[in-house]
Chains A and B, each alone.
Chain A
Amino acid sequence: GEDVEQSLFLSVREGDSSVINCTYTDSSSTYLYWYKQEPGAGLQLLTYIFSNMDMKQDQRLTVLLNKKDKHLSLRIADTQTGDSAIYFCARGDNYGQNFVFGPGTRLSVLP
C-alpha cells in the first residue's frame, strides 16, 4: 500500500465538526502537515505538528497525532461552506524536504 493514506471523500453538514483521518507507515519524518487545496488553486498550509507532539490546536483546527498507531487527524469545528476543498495530509522534514503526500480527502459541506 501507499505510505500515506487517507479516505477520499467526506461529507458533513454546515455547522457540524469534520474529522479527516490519515495514516502513514514511515515515521521518520520530523513534521506532519495538513494542506488545503481549493479548486484551481495551489496548496495552502493549514497547520503542522512536530512528530513528538500529541495535539495542536489552532482556532477551529485541532490536530491529533497517535504515534503508536501512526494515525493523524484534522478536526474542523463548526464547518462552513468555505471549508469545502481537498485536504492533503503530508509527512516531511524541515523546509519542505522529503515531503510525501496522501491522496487527499475531498470535503463537501452541505447546507
Chain B
Amino acid sequence: NAGVMQNPRHLVRRRGQEARLRCSPMKGHSHVYWYRQLPEEGLKFMVYLQKENIIDESGMPKERFSAEFPKEGPSILRIQQVVRGDSAAYFCASSSDREGGTEAFFGQGTRLTVV
C-alpha cells in the first residue's frame, strides 16, 4: 500500500505560468488536505476536499488558486499566473473516515520555485 504520492517533487515555473500539483491519496482514503510551507515558516492549511467536493477552502488565496479532487484520479492544486511569492513547499495529506482514525498521512511535498 503506497503512501501519499505527490508529483512532481520539484517544479520550476516562470512568473505568469501555471503550476499544477498532483496528489494521490493512500488507498482507501477519501479525504485530502493541502498545506503550504513557506520558507522558515510552519505549515498553513489551504483546502480540505473529499471526492468531488470542496469541504473547507478557508485557507486558499482568493485569486489564482484552485483545487479539485475528481471522482477518478488524483487531487490537483492549480496555481495560475504564478508569482515569486508562490515559491514554497506544498504538502498534501490524506486520511480515511474510519471511526477512531486519527492520523493524516503526508506526502513528500512538491517544492515550487518561481523564477
Chain A positions near chain B (C-beta within 8 angstroms): 4, 8, 31, 35, 40-45, 48, 88, 90, 92, 94-104
Contacts and interface: CB of A to CB of B under 8 A. Distances in A.
Nearest to B100: A94
B42 A96 contact: no
B46 to A, nearest CB: 11
A92 B33 CA distance: 13
Interface residues of B, number: 26
B43 interface: yes
B41 A96 contact: no
B85 interface: no
A42 B106 contact: yes
B75 interface: no
A99 B104 contact: yes
Interface in B58-104: 91, 93-97, 101-104
A8 B41 CA distance: 9
A90 B48 CA distance: 17
B55 to A, nearest CB: 9
